[in-house]
Structure 1
Amino acid sequence: MEKLLMSDSVLFAELDAAGSKVGRVTLSVAATLNSLTLEMVDLLQAKLDVWANDDNIVAVFIEGAGEKAFCAGGDVQALHQSAIDKPGGPCDYAEAFFAREYRMNYTLHTYAKPIVCWGHGIVMGGGLGVMAGCSHRVVTERTRIAMPEVTIALFPDVGGSWFLNHAPGNTGEFLALTGASINAADAIYIGIADRFIASEHKDAVIAELLVQPWTDDVEKNHAQVRHVLRPFAEQSITASPAGQVEPHAATIAQLLDGEDVHDIIDRITSQDTDDPWLAKARDSLQQGSRLAALWIHRQLWETRHMGLADIFRAEVQLATNIVRHPEFAEGVRALLIDKDRNPVWQYPSSRDVPGDVLDGFFTAPWDSNPLADLG
């Protein structure tokens, strides 16, 4: 029997699993590519908290509705509206969204019970934050991942400061600065996914999860999930796409081998290349905010040795300062609201950005960090 607990934007189910239950979460706004709203974040947080303390729930399975996307990110248009409603802030909705989203991301990263994420289709921004935080992350032949925040004057948040800093070599910073699109093979290479499984096996994976000999030992239950996923991954090897990041790793290392961040930006944007993946990455940074490129670089540098809780505290500080600044509103306007793709950035060159302006984004805008209690 399947017990459905329904809401408009997220569906929750408790699936009978050999005397136990597997919690099933479906991000269920296919029309918006399952983009996260504050309501969805709060629903996820509440259910994760309940299931964490429910001995009947042995594992969780998270998916997106439809075939196009797991989750295309946060509801950026709502964040934009919050930013323009009160220029300079506080931007109540946007700031609440960031704080509660990052808290939910932290919950996923530190969840004791196994969580399987079926990362099928588009996985961007906030969707990547959900997937990256899960303990068993599955990608498919249709997985398309990107964090193109430089194009809207944001930064790879939702834990991006953690997982991009843990990517091999310079690949994390390159992806952060350029918003380059990656696939399933790339996701496994940089460490934000664990297994490639062809999408046709999804129902069979769920069916196998429901017949496992679950116990009250969390570590054994994680092993049980690996036992289920492993043969499906082995069957799917020939369907895996060719990666882009690993074959370009040497070139990426050369591009990131600059004297400073300005030199790195110059190296990437001045490439004369016929390689379509590198060219698209180059053009994305070229069209993006130079101010955003600077805070992206600095955020990764300043968090490179931080623990997870401190990283989310640093991210909520930066996100709060960004949403209060007009560069973000202009980026979203040009790309997603008016869609003229002609943003009027405040600084034509990264070298034009005054040091005190950049410093301001890394200065606490409040007396107490809203994530002070994490960890």
Structure 2
Amino acid sequence: MSHSVEFSSLPFASHFKLGRIRLNSARTLNALSLDMIKTMQQQLQAWQDDPYIVAVLLEGEGEKAFCAGGNVVDVYRAIAEQGDQGAFSQHYFGHEYQLDQLIQEYRKPIICWGHGYVMGGGMGLFMGARYRLVMPSSRLAMPEIKIGLYPDVGASYFLNQLPEHFARFLALTAYQVNATDACELGLATHYICDEAYQELLDQLAAGTLEDNSHEHVAQHIERVLHGFTLSDDLPLLKPELIAHEKELEKLMSGDIVNIYHSFKHFDNDSPTLMAARHNFLKGSPLSACLILEQLNWGKGQSLAAVFERETILSVNISVHGDFCEGVRALLVDKDQAPIWQHHSVIEAAKQPLATFFNPPSMMAERPSYEAS
């Protein structure tokens, strides 16, 4: 068992158990390694058939993050240093997306404690949970454009549940969403205090259930969570995305070239919105084009279709896109100066993108997970 993930069980409604998964790599902000992904998948599958485990709590060690993303440096090293032509990339992303799909379709309620940074691969875990808890420390983001990737881990599905302008803005800018906006947008289900963790466990442990039916378990969880959302001690953060919705709707209209020109002239008093502008203009132009293409395709698609296509796109972009250069510049050499394949979005938009969505010859068919 990986020491980077801890599994335990806690009391739930007196006679039952709450399975607890704790990401235990605070030094890396709980970045997901392949070993962590596999062990979580195995444990969740085992608990799904355990009648005493009636719900699952997913959390991260340390004060800074639930999970700041996937361990993409391992993917980079396999391609750039070992020259494996994407074999590990297929293995890593394939298993990560199987875990995300398992969480999305899990037969028992999953509660995710989304404190601190919830980014990239962390969002894949978080968004699959039925109960998505945020707090004043929470910062939710899909920052892949900064490393030459694109919002994956099912984002083609869950971002498309938002109004189009918000989906595009979050996907293209690595903007960090606060707890209030997360709840307003439906990315989170409950807003509670950071300090409420132990009291939450105590209240989940208290009380009784007639049986372990999904309905009764969910009712107990929802009664407990409802009490925390009414707390007088809860500091309310000002919404920002909602407050600037009209500006963002205009900014995100049209094709990727229109958006590029709009960003070039965008000015706002908000430091976070201007940081988002910077992220877009300094991010991978190729990724920007692929992001909009993928979001447009993902509208109305099933989870299974999304994960299948994301696996193909992730392998292709890691081998042939800007991924290796982005990871090198931001996470390996840390010179913060990536040299992208294209100088601007206008140049990248002229390149045919279809090859990125075609299965590479080395790719075997992705094993699918079906909830039973």
Classify the TM-score, shorter chain.
over 0.9
Q: What is the aligned partner in structure 2 of residue 140 from structure 1? A: 135
1:361 aligns with 2:335: no
Q: Is the 8 A contact 2:2 2:36 kept in 1?
A: no
Q: Return the match for 1:239 from 228, 235, 240.
A: 235
What amino acid does structure 2 have at the position aligned with 1:35? A
What amino acid does structure 2 have at the position aligned with 1:251? E
Q: Return the match for 1:41 from 10, 32, 37.
A: 37
1:174-323 matched pairs, under 5 angstroms: 174-214=169-209, 215-235=211-231, 238-258=234-254, 260-323=255-318
- Which stretch shifts more, 325-334 or 298-307? 325-334
CA separation of 1:204/1:294 partners in 2, compared to 1, >3 Å: closer, same or farther?
same
What amino acid does structure 1 have at the position aligned with 2:65? A
Q: CA deviation at 1:342?
A: 1.2
Q: Is the 8 A contact 1:15 1:23 kept in 2?
A: yes
Structure 2 counterpart SS, 1:253: helix
What amino acid does structure 1 have at the position aligned with 2:87? D
Q: Is the 8 A contact 1:119 1:139 kept in 2?
A: yes
What amino acid does structure 2 have at the position aligned with 1:174? F
Per-residue CA deviations over 1:240-291 (Å, capped at 9, x if unaligned) read 3112211111111001122x22111221233133321221111000100100
Q: What is the aligned partner in structure 2 of residue 70 from structure 1? A: 66
Q: Return the match for 2:91 from 89, 96, 114.
A: 96
CA separation of 1:7/1:272 partners in 2, compared to 1, >3 Å: closer, same or farther?
closer
Distance 1:261 1:236 in 2: 44
Q: Is the 8 A contact 2:98 2:369 kept in 1?
A: no
Q: CA deviation at 1:114?
A: 0.8
Q: What is the aligned partner in structure 1 of residue 162 from structure 2? A: 167
Distance 1:298 1:353 in 2: 13
Alignment coverage as a number of residue pairs: 368
Structure 1 counterpart SS, 2:243: helix
Q: Is the 8 A contact 2:98 2:368 kept in 1?
A: no
Alignment root-mean-square deviation, CA: 1.7
CA separation of 1:294/1:236 partners in 2, compared to 1, >3 Å: closer, same or farther?
farther
Distance 1:269 1:362 in 2: 29
Identity %: 37
1:125 aligns with 2:114: no
Distance 2:25 2:132 in 1: 21
Q: CA deviation at 1:368?
A: 4.5
Distance 1:310 1:236 in 2: 43
Structure 2 counterpart SS, 1:151: helix
Q: Which runs of 5+ in 2 are unaligned?
A: none
Q: What is the aligned partner in structure 1 of residue 366 from structure 2? A: 370
Per-residue CA deviations over 1:320-352 (Å, capped at 9, x if unaligned) read 111112511111111111111111111112232
Q: Is the 8 A contact 2:10 2:17 kept in 1?
A: yes
Q: What is the aligned partner in structure 2 of residue 3 from structure 1? A: none
Q: Which runs of 5+ in 1 are unaligned?
A: 1-5
Normalised by the length of structure 1, the TM-score is: 0.94
